[in-house]
Amino acid sequence: MRLWRFIRRAVEEAGVLAWTIGGTALVLITLSGPIFRLGLYISMIALAVHIIGLWAALGDDE
């Protein structure tokens, strides 16, 4: 049950973050070389932190 709530909430959050993720992707395609790689790492870390925060906040809903 908890897994399904997490998946539902993650999908909702993805909808909320769509513009941010789209903007990040737009910027990343204009970069090249080591700067692209750095931007990709920063974006992945930020998304992972957001998902971890989402997971942590899931316990607050109960």
Residue ranges of the domains in the chain?
2-61
Residue 62: per-residue pLDDT: 54
Find the distance separating the first CA and the last CA of the chain, reported in whole Å: 12
DSSP letter, residue 32: -
Name the burial class of residue 24, with classes exposed (0-12), middle (13-18) and buried (19+) by CB atoms within 10 angstroms of its CB.
middle
Q: pTM above the 0.75 mark?
A: no
Place of tokens 């897994």: 3
Per-residue model confidence as pLDDT tens for the chain (62 residues): 678 887 887 788 888 888 888 899 999 999 999 999 999 999 999 988 988 887 787 766 55
